[in-house]
């Protein structure tokens, strides 16, 4: 896979999974509303995909060792892959009861990170267990923190309608 597509895929997967799960768990803990989660996921799939694509674009321009074509390839690849990975979390929300959809989404996200971590570790010839533990631990940390922040926000502002 070409560098630009690989970088867009790698970044899109990691950011799409962790950002979307964090948003979902925070919103779920605070609202328990499927409508709010659908709106949040769509918003993050669109806004954060463009934001990350622009961030990668600027970062690659600053490095200065890539062609204009390569910079645009990684920009577009990041946009597309981030959008697709974030958007994939809509499927369980739309098809399953909300509490089940949240569990399925967590499993889906951690599975994606695990498979990617194993693949990446094998390419780099490092211990896959270390790679998986590192990446999944970060994702679990984000999930736990955002869930409790969402719960806290609900307890403070839950009376406001």
Asked whether the beta carbons of 48 and 86 are under 8 A apart, the reply is yes
Q: What is the pTM of this model?
A: 0.91
Radius of gyration of the CA atoms of the chain, in A: 17
Task: Quote the DSSP letter at residue 64.
Answer: -
Residues 135-146 have pLDDT tens digits of: 999 999 999 999
Residues 72-102 have pLDDT tens digits of: 999 999 999 999 999 999 999 999 999 999 9
In the predicted model, residues of the chain with pLDDT beneath 70 are 1, 159-161
Residue 40 belongs to domain spanning: 3-157
Total count of domains within the chain: 1
């Amino acid at each position: 896979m070409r560098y630009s597509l690989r970088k867009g895929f790698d970044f899109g997967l990691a950011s799409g999974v962790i950002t979307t799960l964090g948003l979902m768990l925070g919103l779920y803990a605070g609202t328990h509303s499927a409508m709010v989660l659908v709106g949040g996921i769509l918003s993050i799939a669109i806004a954060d995909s463009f934001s990350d694509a622009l961030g990668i674009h600027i970062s690659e321009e600053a490095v200065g060792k890539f062609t204009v074509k390569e910079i645009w390839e990684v920009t577009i690849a990041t946009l597309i892959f981030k959008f697709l990975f974030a958007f994939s979390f809509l499927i369980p929300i739309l098809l399953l009861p909300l509490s089940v959809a949240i569990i399925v989404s967590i499993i889906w996200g951690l599975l994606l990170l695990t498979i990617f971590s194993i693949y990446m570790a094998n390419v780099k010839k490092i211990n896959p267990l270390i790679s998986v533990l590192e990446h999944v631990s970060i994702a679990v940390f984000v999930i736990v923190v955002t869930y409790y922040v969402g719960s806290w926000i609900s307890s403070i502002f839950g009376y406001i309608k």
